[in-house]
């Protein structure tokens, strides 16, 4: 069994809006973060560079399984109106090296997809036997709530 294998946790939702509107929401994520998920999101800010520019870094805090968790990330890939890739900093990068947000036009609407890459394998399953399952369940619940909230926010405007 390999030391690590990669899991992809993926959620997609159809939103009745143009890709540019989704992109604009994320361009102002520092203002929209707590609106996006009021129960879990605490703060988001750009700490270096401009919003949605490759190489920019950000800081975020959110509740994960009831505990406030802090994150730093660098935007490693940007394709305007299509793709945003965050690479997490240490220690989050040990478990999750990156997150991708994809925006795909589909006729009169867009599909927003969030993909989280998780490192898993024999060693991690031994270390986090119960914790890994709980973390994946919490992640799936959180990202689905984000997707539904994003749809509601953008279709209301």
pLDDT over 70, % of the chain: 89
Sign, CA dihedral 105-25-86-101, equals negative
Given this model, what pLDDT does residue 1 score? 44
Q: Which of 66, 59, 58 is nearest to 40 (CA)?
A: 66
Which residues are CB-contacts of 44 (< 8 A; sequence separation ≥ 6)?
A: 29, 30, 33, 58, 59, 60, 61
Q: What is the pLDDT of residues 135-145, one digit of tens each?
A: 778 888 999 99
How far apart, in Å, do the first and last CA atoms of the chain sit? Answer: 49
Given this model, what pLDDT does residue 96 score? 85
How much is the mean pLDDT over the chain?
89
Whole-angstrom CA distances from 2 to 16, 96, 120 are 42, 17, 9
Largest Cα–Cα separation, the chain: 49
Task: Give the pLDDT mean for 29-37.
Answer: 97
Q: What is the pLDDT of residues 107-131, one digit of tens each?
A: 999 999 999 998 876 555 555 556 6
Residue 67 has pLDDT above 60, yes or no: yes
- CB-based contact 62:141 (threshold 8 Å): no
pTM of the model: 0.88
CATH number at 5-156: 3.30.530.20
């Amino acid at each position: 069994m390999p030391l690590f294998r990669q899991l992809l946790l993926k959620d997609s939702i159809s939103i009745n809006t143009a890709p540019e509107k989704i992109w604009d929401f994320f361009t102002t994520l520092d203002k929209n973060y707590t609106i996006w998920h009021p129960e879990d999101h605490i703060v988001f800010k750009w700490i270096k560079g401009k919003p949605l520019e490759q190489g920019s870094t950000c800081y975020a805090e959110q509740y994960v399984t009831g505990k406030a968790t802090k994150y730093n990330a660098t935007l490693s890939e940007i394709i305007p109106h299509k793709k945003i890739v965050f690479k997490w900093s240490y220690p989050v990068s040990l478990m999750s090296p990156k997150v991708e947000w994809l925006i795909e036009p589909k006729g009169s609407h867009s599909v927003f997809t969030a993909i989280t890459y998780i490192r898993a394998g024999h060693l991690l399953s031994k270390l986090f036997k119960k914790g890994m399952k709980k973390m994946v369940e919490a992640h799936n619940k959180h990202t689905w709530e984000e997707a539904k909230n994003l749809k509601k926010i953008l279709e209301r405007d």
